Amino acid sequence: MIDNETVTEAIEYILLHIWENITLEEVAAHCHMSVSYFSKIFKGQTGLSVYAFIKKVKMEQSAMKLKMEADRSITEIGEDYGYSASNYSSAFSQYHKKAPSAFRNELPGESEETQKIIAAINTKIRIVTKPDYLVMYERTIGNYSDLPEVWCNFMEKHKNEIRKDTIFFERTFDDPTIVQKDKCIYDICMSIHTPEKYKNTSVLKGGKFAVYPYKGYINAIYTLNQELVGIWFPASHYEIDERYSYDQYHKVGEDGYMEFDICIPVR
Protein backbone atom coordinates (compact mmCIF):
# COMPACT_ATOMS: atom_id res chain seq x y z
CA MET A 1 0.00 0.00 0.00
CA ILE A 2 1.17 3.55 -0.71
CA ASP A 3 1.34 4.96 2.82
CA ASN A 4 2.67 8.44 2.02
CA GLU A 5 -0.17 10.92 1.66
CA THR A 6 1.80 13.23 -0.64
CA VAL A 7 2.74 10.42 -3.04
CA THR A 8 -0.88 9.23 -3.10
CA GLU A 9 -1.97 12.77 -3.98
CA ALA A 10 0.73 13.02 -6.66
CA ILE A 11 -0.34 9.74 -8.30
CA GLU A 12 -3.96 10.90 -8.24
CA TYR A 13 -2.95 14.13 -9.98
CA ILE A 14 -0.94 12.24 -12.62
CA LEU A 15 -3.75 9.77 -13.31
CA LEU A 16 -6.32 12.55 -13.69
CA HIS A 17 -4.07 14.57 -16.05
CA ILE A 18 -2.39 11.74 -17.97
CA TRP A 19 -3.72 13.12 -21.27
CA GLU A 20 -1.67 16.30 -20.74
CA ASN A 21 2.06 17.04 -20.96
CA ILE A 22 2.69 16.67 -17.22
CA THR A 23 6.07 17.74 -15.84
CA LEU A 24 7.92 16.89 -12.63
CA GLU A 25 7.87 20.55 -11.67
CA GLU A 26 4.10 20.72 -12.11
CA VAL A 27 3.46 17.66 -9.92
CA ALA A 28 5.88 18.86 -7.22
CA ALA A 29 4.20 22.29 -7.21
CA HIS A 30 0.78 20.64 -6.88
CA CYS A 31 2.09 18.85 -3.77
CA HIS A 32 3.67 22.09 -2.42
CA MET A 33 7.18 20.59 -2.30
CA SER A 34 10.59 21.31 -3.76
CA VAL A 35 11.42 19.25 -6.84
CA SER A 36 14.41 17.53 -5.23
CA TYR A 37 12.63 16.47 -2.02
CA PHE A 38 9.47 15.43 -3.83
CA SER A 39 11.45 13.34 -6.34
CA LYS A 40 13.16 11.51 -3.48
CA ILE A 41 10.00 10.52 -1.62
CA PHE A 42 8.13 9.64 -4.83
CA LYS A 43 10.83 7.23 -5.97
CA GLY A 44 11.11 5.82 -2.47
CA GLN A 45 7.41 4.87 -2.49
CA THR A 46 6.96 3.79 -6.13
CA GLY A 47 10.43 2.64 -7.16
CA LEU A 48 10.22 4.95 -10.19
CA SER A 49 11.09 8.54 -10.98
CA VAL A 50 8.13 10.81 -11.71
CA TYR A 51 8.92 10.83 -15.44
CA ALA A 52 9.32 7.04 -15.54
CA PHE A 53 6.00 6.67 -13.72
CA ILE A 54 4.22 9.01 -16.16
CA LYS A 55 5.67 7.08 -19.12
CA LYS A 56 4.61 3.77 -17.55
CA VAL A 57 1.00 4.96 -17.22
CA LYS A 58 0.91 6.40 -20.76
CA MET A 59 2.39 3.25 -22.30
CA GLU A 60 0.18 0.82 -20.39
CA GLN A 61 -3.05 2.77 -20.82
CA SER A 62 -2.43 3.36 -24.52
CA ALA A 63 -1.73 -0.38 -24.98
CA MET A 64 -5.10 -1.07 -23.39
CA LYS A 65 -6.70 1.34 -25.87
CA LEU A 66 -5.00 -0.47 -28.75
CA LYS A 67 -6.78 -3.62 -27.58
CA MET A 68 -10.13 -2.05 -26.87
CA GLU A 69 -10.54 0.51 -29.67
CA ALA A 70 -9.91 -1.49 -32.83
CA ASP A 71 -11.68 1.11 -34.99
CA ARG A 72 -9.18 3.85 -34.10
CA SER A 73 -5.76 4.23 -35.67
CA ILE A 74 -2.51 3.79 -33.76
CA THR A 75 -1.65 7.42 -34.54
CA GLU A 76 -4.90 8.67 -33.00
CA ILE A 77 -4.34 6.67 -29.81
CA GLY A 78 -0.75 7.93 -29.51
CA GLU A 79 -1.99 11.50 -29.94
CA ASP A 80 -4.39 10.96 -27.00
CA TYR A 81 -1.30 10.74 -24.79
CA GLY A 82 0.65 13.60 -26.37
CA TYR A 83 2.83 11.66 -28.84
CA SER A 84 3.45 12.22 -32.53
CA ALA A 85 3.18 9.10 -34.70
CA SER A 86 6.93 8.41 -34.84
CA ASN A 87 7.56 9.26 -31.18
CA TYR A 88 4.72 7.02 -30.02
CA SER A 89 5.93 4.06 -32.05
CA SER A 90 9.46 4.50 -30.70
CA ALA A 91 8.35 4.92 -27.06
CA PHE A 92 5.92 1.99 -27.26
CA SER A 93 8.48 -0.30 -28.86
CA GLN A 94 11.06 0.59 -26.23
CA TYR A 95 8.65 -0.02 -23.35
CA HIS A 96 6.78 -3.11 -24.58
CA LYS A 97 9.61 -4.62 -26.69
CA LYS A 98 7.37 -4.69 -29.75
CA ALA A 99 5.87 -2.15 -32.15
CA PRO A 100 2.27 -1.00 -31.54
CA SER A 101 1.24 -2.56 -34.86
CA ALA A 102 2.72 -5.92 -33.81
CA PHE A 103 0.98 -5.65 -30.44
CA ARG A 104 -2.37 -5.00 -32.09
CA ASN A 105 -1.87 -7.84 -34.59
CA GLU A 106 -1.54 -10.31 -31.69
CA LEU A 107 -5.16 -9.73 -30.69
CA PRO A 108 -7.69 -12.51 -31.39
CA GLY A 109 -9.31 -12.52 -34.82
CA GLU A 110 -12.91 -13.29 -35.77
CA SER A 111 -12.74 -17.03 -35.19
CA GLU A 112 -15.66 -19.26 -34.21
CA GLU A 113 -14.24 -19.41 -30.69
CA THR A 114 -14.14 -15.62 -30.31
CA GLN A 115 -17.72 -15.39 -31.56
CA LYS A 116 -18.76 -17.87 -28.85
CA ILE A 117 -17.00 -15.75 -26.21
CA ILE A 118 -18.72 -12.58 -27.46
CA ALA A 119 -22.12 -14.29 -27.45
CA ALA A 120 -21.60 -15.61 -23.91
CA ILE A 121 -20.58 -12.16 -22.61
CA ASN A 122 -23.56 -10.54 -24.36
CA THR A 123 -25.91 -12.73 -22.31
CA LYS A 124 -24.61 -11.14 -19.08
CA ILE A 125 -23.29 -7.69 -19.86
CA ARG A 126 -25.57 -4.66 -19.78
CA ILE A 127 -25.21 -0.94 -20.43
CA VAL A 128 -26.07 1.06 -17.31
CA THR A 129 -26.04 4.74 -16.35
CA LYS A 130 -24.46 5.01 -12.92
CA PRO A 131 -24.29 7.98 -10.49
CA ASP A 132 -21.22 9.66 -9.04
CA TYR A 133 -19.88 8.05 -5.86
CA LEU A 134 -17.93 9.99 -3.23
CA VAL A 135 -15.38 7.57 -1.78
CA MET A 136 -12.36 7.33 0.47
CA TYR A 137 -9.58 5.13 -0.86
CA GLU A 138 -6.32 3.39 -0.06
CA ARG A 139 -3.93 2.88 -2.98
CA THR A 140 -1.75 -0.13 -3.71
CA ILE A 141 0.98 -0.74 -6.26
CA GLY A 142 1.42 -4.49 -6.31
CA ASN A 143 0.07 -7.82 -7.55
CA TYR A 144 -3.66 -8.24 -8.17
CA SER A 145 -3.43 -11.73 -6.72
CA ASP A 146 -2.88 -10.07 -3.33
CA LEU A 147 -6.26 -8.33 -3.59
CA PRO A 148 -8.19 -10.61 -1.17
CA GLU A 149 -5.61 -9.99 1.57
CA VAL A 150 -5.47 -6.25 0.86
CA TRP A 151 -9.28 -6.16 0.86
CA CYS A 152 -9.64 -8.02 4.18
CA ASN A 153 -7.05 -5.72 5.80
CA PHE A 154 -8.99 -2.69 4.54
CA MET A 155 -12.28 -4.03 5.91
CA GLU A 156 -10.76 -4.79 9.31
CA LYS A 157 -9.14 -1.36 9.51
CA HIS A 158 -12.38 0.50 8.71
CA LYS A 159 -14.98 -1.85 10.24
CA ASN A 160 -16.19 0.78 12.72
CA GLU A 161 -16.91 3.24 9.89
CA ILE A 162 -19.05 0.90 7.77
CA ARG A 163 -22.78 1.65 7.56
CA LYS A 164 -25.64 -0.39 6.17
CA ASP A 165 -25.63 1.72 3.00
CA THR A 166 -21.84 1.66 2.50
CA ILE A 167 -20.79 0.55 -1.00
CA PHE A 168 -17.37 -0.94 -1.72
CA PHE A 169 -15.28 -0.57 -4.85
CA GLU A 170 -11.94 -1.44 -6.34
CA ARG A 171 -10.81 1.23 -8.78
CA THR A 172 -8.46 0.00 -11.50
CA PHE A 173 -6.02 2.04 -13.54
CA ASP A 174 -4.47 -0.55 -15.84
CA ASP A 175 -4.84 -3.94 -17.49
CA PRO A 176 -3.23 -6.74 -15.44
CA THR A 177 -2.48 -8.67 -18.63
CA ILE A 178 -0.26 -5.80 -19.84
CA VAL A 179 1.32 -4.47 -16.63
CA GLN A 180 4.12 -6.24 -14.76
CA LYS A 181 2.33 -8.37 -12.18
CA ASP A 182 3.83 -6.58 -9.16
CA LYS A 183 3.28 -3.08 -10.62
CA CYS A 184 -0.53 -2.93 -10.88
CA ILE A 185 -2.11 0.25 -9.50
CA TYR A 186 -5.45 -0.16 -7.77
CA ASP A 187 -7.52 1.44 -5.00
CA ILE A 188 -9.76 -0.15 -2.41
CA CYS A 189 -12.62 2.31 -1.87
CA MET A 190 -15.77 2.72 0.18
CA SER A 191 -18.55 5.26 -0.17
CA ILE A 192 -18.61 8.02 2.44
CA HIS A 193 -20.80 10.89 3.59
CA THR A 194 -18.25 12.96 5.58
CA PRO A 195 -15.13 13.50 3.43
CA GLU A 196 -13.50 15.76 6.05
CA LYS A 197 -12.81 12.64 8.17
CA TYR A 198 -10.47 11.09 5.59
CA LYS A 199 -7.11 11.93 4.04
CA ASN A 200 -7.70 10.43 0.61
CA THR A 201 -11.04 11.07 -1.05
CA SER A 202 -12.18 11.01 -4.64
CA VAL A 203 -15.26 10.89 -6.83
CA LEU A 204 -15.94 7.85 -8.99
CA LYS A 205 -17.48 9.61 -11.95
CA GLY A 206 -20.86 8.36 -13.09
CA GLY A 207 -22.22 8.03 -16.60
CA LYS A 208 -22.58 5.18 -19.08
CA PHE A 209 -20.90 1.87 -18.17
CA ALA A 210 -20.75 -1.63 -19.56
CA VAL A 211 -21.42 -3.75 -16.46
CA TYR A 212 -20.50 -7.43 -16.20
CA PRO A 213 -21.42 -9.43 -13.04
CA TYR A 214 -18.62 -11.75 -11.84
CA LYS A 215 -18.76 -14.58 -9.33
CA GLY A 216 -15.69 -16.71 -8.82
CA TYR A 217 -12.07 -16.82 -7.72
CA ILE A 218 -9.36 -14.29 -8.40
CA ASN A 219 -7.29 -16.69 -10.52
CA ALA A 220 -10.01 -16.62 -13.20
CA ILE A 221 -10.09 -12.83 -13.47
CA TYR A 222 -7.12 -12.61 -15.84
CA THR A 223 -8.84 -14.79 -18.44
CA LEU A 224 -12.12 -12.89 -18.08
CA ASN A 225 -10.27 -9.58 -18.42
CA GLN A 226 -8.70 -10.79 -21.68
CA GLU A 227 -12.11 -11.79 -23.00
CA LEU A 228 -13.80 -8.52 -22.00
CA VAL A 229 -11.02 -6.15 -23.04
CA GLY A 230 -9.42 -8.01 -25.92
CA ILE A 231 -12.42 -9.72 -27.54
CA TRP A 232 -15.81 -8.35 -26.49
CA PHE A 233 -14.96 -4.65 -26.30
CA PRO A 234 -13.44 -4.29 -29.81
CA ALA A 235 -16.44 -6.14 -31.26
CA SER A 236 -18.87 -3.89 -29.37
CA HIS A 237 -17.67 -0.75 -31.23
CA TYR A 238 -17.85 1.26 -28.02
CA GLU A 239 -14.96 3.55 -27.11
CA ILE A 240 -13.38 3.54 -23.67
CA ASP A 241 -14.17 6.78 -21.84
CA GLU A 242 -11.59 8.89 -19.98
CA ARG A 243 -13.21 7.89 -16.69
CA TYR A 244 -11.52 4.96 -14.97
CA SER A 245 -13.00 1.50 -14.68
CA TYR A 246 -13.98 0.15 -11.30
CA ASP A 247 -15.42 -2.98 -9.72
CA GLN A 248 -18.40 -2.65 -7.37
CA TYR A 249 -18.03 -5.36 -4.74
CA HIS A 250 -20.68 -7.45 -3.05
CA LYS A 251 -18.57 -10.16 -1.42
CA VAL A 252 -14.89 -11.00 -0.85
CA GLY A 253 -13.73 -14.13 0.94
CA GLU A 254 -10.34 -14.76 2.49
CA ASP A 255 -10.02 -17.79 0.20
CA GLY A 256 -10.18 -15.51 -2.87
CA TYR A 257 -13.86 -16.04 -3.78
CA MET A 258 -15.46 -12.80 -4.96
CA GLU A 259 -18.73 -11.39 -6.21
CA PHE A 260 -18.60 -8.01 -7.94
CA ASP A 261 -19.70 -6.00 -10.97
CA ILE A 262 -17.00 -5.06 -13.48
CA CYS A 263 -17.85 -1.52 -14.62
CA ILE A 264 -16.16 -0.25 -17.81
CA PRO A 265 -16.84 3.38 -18.78
CA VAL A 266 -18.02 3.68 -22.38
CA ARG A 267 -19.17 6.27 -24.85
SS (H, E, C) 9-52: HHHHHHHHCCCCCCCHHHHHHHCCCCHHHHHHHHHHHHCCCHHH
CB distance 230 to 161 below 8 Å: no
pLDDT band of residue 53 (cuts 50, 70, 90) is very high
Residue 217: pLDDT above 80?
A: yes
Higher pLDDT, 109 or 229: 229
Least confident residue range of 53-57, 129-133, 231-235: 231-235
Residue 256: pLDDT above 80?
A: no
Q: Which domains, ranges and CATH numbers included, belong to the chain?
A: 5-68+71-105 (1.10.10.60), 126-265 (3.20.80.10)
Q: What share of the chain has pLDDT > 70, as a percent?
A: 97
Distances (CA, A) of 85 to 55, 102, 162, 182: 16, 15, 49, 30
Handedness of CA 177, 11, 217, 242 (dihedral sign): negative
Distance CA 89, CA 226 (A): 23
Nearest 5°: CA angle at 11, between 10 and 16?
100
CB distance 169 to 138 below 8 Å: no
Residue 1: pLDDT above 70?
A: no
Q: To which H or E segment does residue 190 belong?
A: strand 184-191
**What is the predicted pLDDT for the residue at 128?**
96
Query: How high is the mean pLDDT of the chain?
Result: 90
Residue 3: pLDDT above 70?
A: no
**What is the predicted pLDDT for the residue at 107?**
67
Mean pLDDT confidence for 47-63: 93
- pLDDT tens per residue across span 106-165: 766 668 888 999 999 999 999 999 999 999 999 998 888 888 888 889 999 999 999 999
**What is the predicted pLDDT for the residue at 43?**
93
